[in-house]
Amino acid sequence: MGRILLRRPRGAAELVAAAVVALAVLVLVVRTAATAVGALKAAWPALLALALLTGAGAAWRIRQANTMRRRERERLATLRITLAEFDAMGDRRFEYALRDLLVRDGWPARRVGGGGDQAADVIGDHPQRGRIVVQAKHTRVGGKVGSAVMYAVKGTAGPVHKADHAVVVTNGAFTRDAMAWGDRHGVHWIDREKLRRWAEDGAALHELLGLSARSRPSRFRRAA
């Protein structure tokens, strides 16, 4: 499609016509602007009210969110979970409960369990104590966790999850071999009794595991 070429007006008649068109456009612009200004003057109370309502709504939502966060912090600060409550949980709820306990003890944590979790159900990061990987094993009362779980956690905690510490937690028990293997290879374990002390009595996780806050430890993958 060819370009439209404009040329300068030629002669007095064309100049007058061009001036008339320009004046008409100017008048139209002025009238449009005046109409817009008039509309704004008429509508400004409604616009102001709308702005105030919008601001009040945003402030209310922010306040509600802050209140919910404060209540959640207060809840977690005094969180206690009994063994009976753990026994009644399913696998997923058990993982979320362990996440909440980590948060209570100063480990900002998230649940990551699910398909393809590579032996990590909860991961927490502490500013002084580093990263911890938790493998949750919810079982029936009297059930035992074997050494295979320890092998899996040892194999992925450092290389995959970049963890400084790894722990397997169960509401049941561990086989003797699993506990011995974990102790030799740096995989912590929390059985039913330790879980009671952690969740029900309120003992801090780092106290149960003997983790120092004096310096960030070397990566778990370097552990012997």
Q: What residues does each domain of the chain span?
A: 10-78, 83-222
Count Cβ neighbours within 10 Å for each residue of 54-85 and write b for 16 or more, e otherwise: eeeeeeeeeeeeeeeeeeeeeeeeeeebeeee
**Cα–Cα distance, 192 to 169 (Å, whole number):** 8
Mean pLDDT of 25-49: 79
Please report which helix (H) or strand (E) contains residue 9, including its range: none
**Cα–Cα distance, 52 to 41 (Å, whole number):** 17
Q: Are 103 and 137 in contact (CB under 8 A)?
A: no
Question: pLDDT-based confidence at 149, cuts 50/70/90?
Answer: very high
What average pLDDT does the chain have? 83
pLDDT at 6 over 70: no
pLDDT at 52 over 90: no
pLDDT at 120 over 70: yes
Question: pLDDT-based confidence at 221, cuts 50/70/90?
Answer: very low
pTM over 0.85: no
CATH number for the segment(s) 83-222: 3.40.1350.10
Query: Highest mean pLDDT: which of 114-118, 170-174, 214-218?
Result: 170-174
CA 11 to centroid of chain Cα atoms: 74
What pLDDT sits at residue 188? 97
